[in-house]
Structure 1
């Protein structure tokens, strides 16, 4: 891989090459990507989607939207710092092509902003609930009518693949989805492979998959334009775009440190753990006098959080630069922070969060309810749409189909596309909207 191709400004439908040195410096193409994500309806719905703690009324807790904004801020810093180092190593990128350090920051920030845009309601349990509907629930009846890869897309419904669908899918009047630059799309694709084959592998890019069969051609277009390395002669699997490692690092830093902070502020984790587990991250930068002057838990933990994030940003940048050539050859096979000297401390913090936050009663109750809500919606919608397509709908089916928005195309000849569109529709519901629709379907929303 080479950076000239990896930094492509191309967008879906372009017929002429976009050159960096010809860009308007007041509104760069990579910065336009950020704006398009921010103003999308799919991004706005994240304001009412669970990050970890569900439907909480406290100001402490992060939603998917606040998490995504924070990840994008960390990602921007990572990208800019890496950009400065890369331009020193490859000065022609700046002198000949016109790239600036901030371009790297804008690409990584935009991809990070969109990284959760495809996640269903109710956190990661939402993905599992959709998958279980097809794997073990009512949706299993469709298995024999789908190809193996189509069925696997549904059984392992993946927020990353759904996100790629959202940002690239052609719709009437909206060709190319959000029409993001290919560089940003590349950085967005943390798992550049299809759902099958599922191979045991230590390569970080094989952990999940990154696109549905419906977006296969769009994915190949992006991968080939960027010059990603093909990793299979028979199936679609490519190397990561190098900047995807920075998007992943930004996400890892935020959920490690900020979920820990949330747990402390909610009283699920003792405040004493904050200093005990963060001290090795902040001991070189902490101002003990300032820390001791802070009068409340929220301010003390906020101070430690800021220092810890800064430490991990610098650590991730150093690891990336030290391994940049291996990354370009697809010879670096782990997340950046897995190679960190702070790996033990990071794992300790994550374990505390898992035990005290992710497995708290409130979170488990949310996941139980989420399974029931999503299972009900999928059964009702898939039955109604497929009965209508087969021309034997009940009156109830007709009402359900009429309740769907016009953007949900229900008359696709492909069963796979009908099912995937319904999964996509359900995934875009906020937590509250999903519950509201569930109540309506179950006759619980009447005001008598």
Structure 2
């Protein structure tokens, strides 16, 4: 695997530094979660528009980014009074918050472009941007109203149990699949393998061709994680129940 790593870093020109695009990927991931968590929280009723506004008001000395988002939410709350709160939150996040987070991050990327390209920049774009205060407020709101909500916690625990159970079933099932000891694969293992989409199996076979047994085992384990990560929540729950005789 070390050789693969060297080949990838050489091909991308990153070598011992972070590739410049990873800064943008990191920001995209952070922004997606900041927006999705809060929007989902409003949709499920675990946080209200008034609580969001109070969360802003409790934070002293708003900078221009935070003030702009706060003022826009108040305007939208008045403009769309009587509408579902989820609609107001979605409008606000899509038209104001997301844009501020993206644009302020890009400003830092442009301002520190040379350092980033030379591998001399180690900060998160959001953390050193004008949106850092906004990020802190959004994180506080999620932490105070969403992550600690009993229903959310129960769902997380249930989800963790489902994922762990699926991994416990599928990891043994792939150990001897396409190996030098296929006879070690049990009938149950074969049936489990038959439930994996042909697309995932085809991708595995394409990448496993000509590889040694160690790499093939790694790719089979990756096949399992890709398969489970690609499931919708409802499909994962349904499969878990069926495999455990609960469906």
State TM-score, norm by structure 2: 0.71
Q: Match for residue 9 of structure 2?
A: 223
Q: Match for residue 283 of structure 1?
A: 67
Unaligned runs of 5+ in 1: 1-212, 232-237
1:62-103 Cα distance to aligned partner (Å, 9 max, x none): xxxxxxxxxxxxxxxxxxxxxxxxxxxxxxxxxxxxxxxxxx
The alpha carbon displacement at 1:302 in A equals: 4.1
Would the aligned equivalents of 2:166 and 2:240 in 1 still touch at CA under 8 Å? yes
After superposition, the Cα gap between the structure-2 partners of 1:387 and 1:255, relative to the gap in structure 1 and judged at 3 Å, is closer
1:339-371 Cα distance to aligned partner (Å, 9 max, x none): 123423421320220232123223322222223
Q: CA RMSD of the aligned region, Å?
A: 3.3
Would the aligned equivalents of 1:282 and 1:308 in 2 still touch at CA under 8 Å? no
1 CA distance for matches of 2:10 and 2:193? Answer: 39
Secondary structure of 2:172 counterpart = helix
Q: Does 1:386 align with 2:170?
A: no
Choose the corresponding residue for 2:191, options 399, 409, 434: 399
1:2-36 Cα distance to aligned partner (Å, 9 max, x none): xxxxxxxxxxxxxxxxxxxxxxxxxxxxxxxxxxx
1 CA distance for matches of 2:91 and 2:229? Answer: 35
Aligned residues: 223
Q: Match for residue 259 of structure 1?
A: 37
Q: Match for residue 353 of structure 1?
A: 142
Q: Match for residue 178 of structure 1?
A: none
State TM-score, norm by structure 1: 0.43
Q: Does 1:248 align with 2:26?
A: yes
Q: Does 1:270 align with 2:48?
A: yes
Q: Does 1:435 align with 2:237?
A: yes
Unaligned runs of 5+ in 2: none
1:27-76 Cα distance to aligned partner (Å, 9 max, x none): xxxxxxxxxxxxxxxxxxxxxxxxxxxxxxxxxxxxxxxxxxxxxxxxxx
Would the aligned equivalents of 1:384 and 1:401 in 2 still touch at CA under 8 Å? yes
Choose the corresponding residue for 1:343, options 124, 132, 144: 132
Would the aligned equivalents of 1:378 and 1:422 in 2 still touch at CA under 8 Å? yes
Indicate the structure with greater helix content: 2
Q: Match for residue 420 of structure 1?
A: 222
